[in-house]
Amino acid sequence: MSDNNDKKVVLVIGAGDATGGAIAKRFAREGYVACVTRRSAEKLQPLVDSIRAEGGEAHGFASDARKEEEVAELVEQIERDIGPIEAFVFNIGANVPCSILDETARKYFKIWEMACFAAFLSAQAVARRMVTRGRGTILFTGATAGLRGASHFAAFAGAKHGVRALAQSMARELGPRNIHVAHVVVDGAIDTAFIRDTFPDMYARKDQDGILNPEHIADNYWFLHSQPRDAWTFELDLRPWMEKW
């Protein structure tokens, strides 16, 4: 067992190649141990190696956030062997468009399960640990879909509305127990390989600061975690200056 008395952990569920990875790196630069998850541990290795190359500490975990037993095991392992989870970030997306006339029950449920139910399972498991210590930060990555449902995005909008409601409820219950819960609305394309390859016209806006830089998103997550509790933000809205509301 590791001597974890002096360690602080950030747990990022859904640490992809863009936003999630950037958040993990940002916290690691502040001295936090970055614990990152995806369903495939192999895909996490470049991120883990990058953090370690910069002098930080990182651990990757293959975990399915939709499975209650896997979530419980993950949190237990981190708390026991690495350190207390001081900051938690839920960053699973599941943005899959489809006409409501063609949507299948199976895919609708899967999107909700990934983007909403998994948020409940993992945030609950972490919150139970945080309340025993009387401190912590829980951050949810949201989207404009959590505020209004666009055409062809009924499943995604339903899931993201659910995440926002979960965050609101948790903030009202846990805020008085010194747990900062916040919801981040990310509105706009993010600088990723997917956007570059799939939407080249949109990606061309990068030179004009017209798409979101993952590192700048990550700076805002650190800002939320660092806020004094007399001036906590619940909802933070991030969008490029040229993005339509």
| pLDDT at res. 110 | 96
| pLDDT at res. 5 | 63
**Mean pLDDT in residue range 57-80:** 96
Residues in the chain: 245
Superfamily for domain range 9-236? NAD(P)-binding Rossmann-like Domain (3.40.50.720)
Q: Model confidence over 160-182: pLDDT tens digits?
A: 999 999 999 999 999 999 999 99
Close Cβ partners of 207 (under 8 Å, ≥ 6 residues apart): none
pTM of this prediction? Answer: 0.94
71 pLDDT exceeds 50? yes
4 pLDDT exceeds 70? no
In which band, very low, low, confident or very high, does the pLDDT at 2 lie, cut at 50, 70 and 90?
A: very low
Domain definitions of the chain by residue range: 9-236
Sheet hosting strand 33-38, strand order edge to edge: 58-62, 33-38, 9-13, 85-90, 136-143, 179-186, 235-238
Q: Model confidence over 171-229: pLDDT tens digits?
A: 999 999 999 999 999 988 898 888 888 889 889 999 999 999 999 999 999 999 999 99
